[in-house]
Amino acid sequence: MHRTRVKIVEDALDANDTIARANREDFDRHGVTVVNLMSAPGAGKTALLEGALGEPLPGGARVGVLEGDVQGSMDADRLASLHVPVTQLNTAAGFGGECHLDANMVRSALPQLPLNDVELLVIENVGNLVCPAEFRVGEDARAMVCSVTEGEDKPLKYPLMFRACELVLINKVDLLAHLDFDLDKLLHHLDAVNPGVQRILTSASTGQGVDELRDWLAELAGRRVMAGV
């Protein structure tokens, strides 16, 4: 039986990577460091950003946010109340709403981004543990939020998402006393797919780990300054 393999996915990713490189060149030209922040829906990305960006970063790096959602502006409105420049990017024009941001979507938002006025841009991706990890958007670094309400097995079920990140924020740890959850097991699974990856235990409710996240963002923004870019 004759078989033909269609490389649609590979071609789509190749095209995305080409646009991602163009985005990166534009970010570099403006001296902007970019973080792609990912998670499942409801893990707490926006709440952690509210805590981290509620006061200036150490070193004073100016921060902007590109907010990715299928529809609505609720998260963007929350962050804008902190007087942080926020650009909303909705994906609802896709087939039922795209489940991730890709490089072309980010490129479409570039004219609205205040790249001359920020040193650090946080892209809050659409909540999804699969597709966002596949698509580079021109970022310098990737971070993800995994809440303890999701179960210890998530690194094994979605290894690419956990493997693609420099930082994993383990959120909602204030709920551990009320859950049947083995934190050591989660950390073991995390090390199995991404050995030595930096992790911070966080709680947006109590503020645990928020200062560490703020320091990580400041250090990331400072890399470009130290490199003389």
Per-residue b or e along 167-184, where b marks 16 or more CB atoms closer than 10 Å to that residue's CB: bbbbbbbbeeeeeebeee
pLDDT at residue 215 greater than cutoff 50: yes
In a 3-state reduction of DSSP, which class is residue 10? Answer: helix
Q: Where residue 62 falls among pLDDT bands split at 50, 70, 90?
A: very high
What percentage of the chain carries pLDDT values higher than 70? 90
Q: What is the pTM of this model?
A: 0.91
Residue range 204-208: mean pLDDT, rounded? 97
Tokens of 216: 């990580």
In this model, does residue 177 exceed pLDDT 50? Answer: yes
Measured distance between the N- and C-terminal CA atoms of the chain, rounded to whole angstroms: 56
In whole angstroms, what is the distance from residue 162 CA to residue 187 CA?
11
The full set of domains in the chain, from first to last, is 8-141+210-226 (3.40.50.300)
Q: How far apart are CA 48 and CA 58, in angstroms?
A: 17
pLDDT at 6 over 90: no
Q: Distance between CA 16 and CA 35 in Å, rounded?
A: 17
Q: Which amino acid is at 137?
A: V
What's the mean pLDDT in 36-51?
96
Residue 95: per-residue pLDDT = 47
For position 101, what pLDDT does the model report? 92
- Distances 229 to 112, 141, 203 between C-alpha atoms, Å: 23, 16, 34
Name the percent of the chain lying above pLDDT 90: 82
**Residue closest to 45 by CA, chosen among 98, 113, 124:** 124
Please count the other Cβ atoms lying within 10 Å of the Cβ belonging to residue 79.
23
User: Which among 86, 179, 162 is positioned nearest to 124, based on CA atoms?
Assistant: 86
More confident residue, 191 or 222: 191
What residues pair up with 168 in beta bridges, in sequence order?
A: 144, 199
Q: Is 161 helix (H, G, I), strand (E, B) or coil?
A: helix
Q: Which of 97-106, 122-131, 217-226 has maximum average pLDDT?
A: 122-131
Q: Are 67 and 88 in contact (CB under 8 A)?
A: yes
